[in-house]
Amino acid sequence: MFNDFLDHGLPLIALKEQRRDLIVALMGRKGPISKEAINEIAAIQQAITAIEGVILDLDADIVSHCSEDAEDRQSRH
């Protein structure tokens, strides 16, 4: 059920695509990876993790409200 919810308008997919693009650009590369590239990927990963946490909280709120509504309907019958 949780996987059925949308991303709530947050840029999760765009960030994952950006991370993928950065990693693909580094593939086949010779020599060390710059600190800037590592920092950029790390920052994007942190943003992805934070957004996933927010989405989980939003989804949990939706489920909670749906459960409360269902309980209210059952108690009226």
Interval 25-77: pLDDT, tens = 999 889 999 999 999 999 999 999 999 999 989 888 888 877 766 666 666 66
pLDDT at 9 over 70: yes
What is the structure's pLDDT at 36?
96
What is the structure's pLDDT at 70?
61
What is the structure's pLDDT at 28?
85
Phi, psi of 28 (to 5 degrees): 75, 5
Q: Exposed e or buried b for every residue in 2-22, given b needs 16+ CB within 10 A?
A: eeeeeeeebebeebeebbeee
Query: What is the pLDDT of the chain when averaged over all its residues?
Result: 85
